[in-house]
A and B are shown apart, each in its own frame.
Chain A
């Protein structure tokens, strides 16, 4: 557990590794330095065509949700920890889990000849639009862990509400997120920019990193490779690979 706790220098070093991986994978993460200090954070922006499920919050869930449309906090009921939950959680930390970007490998067999967008539109009610996603990975010195901040805007600059962001997540993932005990997303002030972002709570980071760390340790790997695994999770666009990622599959690690 203690090897999951980072310090700033290790975080910075791992971000450099992340950036190398990003380049290899053809992803577009970059390092943003903070003026007058060695601090900084990772950033990625992406434009995506997304269909937002515009149904009310409660209706979107296939399982019951204890939250109404006016809560700004998403969290699922407490369930027993199992691998499925953790891989779903891992999926949720990656911003690529939105309808427009999913390869939909698991639906290939079910394809009935329509193209991807038609299939997506049939899954829900709502309109398609291009949205701008922005992800930041910062280091929280209070929790000694990396924290994911993100925001979503229309091209006109309107920020999406949490309900709308929720509605843009693929139904399969949404279901898993809701049943996972770890997904806490709230609106927060970005500590460096002072603007409104959504944040994935860092106090849970250690919980879901634990199985990864275990796997990394089983391979006699230091903390660095645990973070490389985190990096791979954040960077790859193969969201379905995430979803299937199981801590016992050591071949996927490092």
Chain B
């Protein structure tokens, strides 16, 4: 099975080249073996031609094998900015033979070795650094400010108030709930979620998406967050070694969700700043046919709408084109709509579910992922949704949901909260208003520093163009700028390379983890780096 990790687009950015030495040494030894083995047979005559040739050949072969393995083990340095994992579990991962620092002869799986390695993606490295030195206004004012995680802290006060009002002495928060007792939540629950929560979530999703589309609770599978939702869908829609097309730049976490255990590859479809990083169907076609030429079976398209990290919203036209494309190629669409409620711009969010309503299309190819981590700021509660019209997928996902079930008391609490429609309405409106405020102010301040952002209408971040500040204009330059932000101004932002962006210099800056009042502080830190870049050029 051929595997490739190079992006299909020939104009791809400079990345660390894979060292050629490992492949050449292996080719030497194979050609060497081809030469020597028959020779051995000729030279040895004693002890019978058969034994005389077989034993030394065998010994020689095993020696070569051993040497080849040792050499590959030393010749595969991890590429620091390459986020596409160096090896997939099922391919020849000779590089991962020895577990780090362990002399045990008993191996763990190749997957474990791969996953256990420290992340080389700057997305995760950044999160790691912040956790070691987190900014705190009073305790650690010189710490690193977290702008690399799309956590929404702007409206936690509202939820906190609701919780205080409604959870007096109760586990679940519903005042007329007779089953306040443990009996109601302790026993085994359906793995795919409580019926009452599914109903509450379907209403919530309807509210979030502007009442323009209804969701049917029986088409839902609940999971502990959107992360397992994507993994489960990957297991259901594709086999090991298949691929999904994914527009770039994309959320770095997709690599984990889709590749690690399901073993599905992600083929990038590059979007450009000239299009404001909007999806181009021609690029999609190209990526698809190139994949086919390589013999890779494409099973679906994975999109995030509103998009992460850019924050733009796919227009109904693009959604229609996507559906046509999927129909034509007979593939699936996974639409990650977790930011649907976090809109602020003039563009209206339209769910792909709404498009399906209006057009005669095979609905069974569309699967939506949703969750409460972004729109309701409840990332810690782990509430995710798989929404599908495909009954086979639902049946399979239901069975798989046993590995990722939501804790029962949390389900009850959230169902109760979502049923408070007045509170939810107030929350959604206030949230949108506050995000817009912070976004507008932030983008304005950045532009005053000479940094332009892509046009965005949703999400918790801005996609900032810092290409003017990087030298050279390459991934290397981008990495250096990232390091400057980390060490000089002590802020963690996500570089475009971590999101597989084809143009160097773009950064995702999340602004919802800071308050409106903190903006000047952050801008000041960014200014420091901007000045230092300008002065050094």
* A and B form one complex: no
Interface residues of A (CB under 8 A from B): none
Interface residues of B (CB under 8 A from A): none
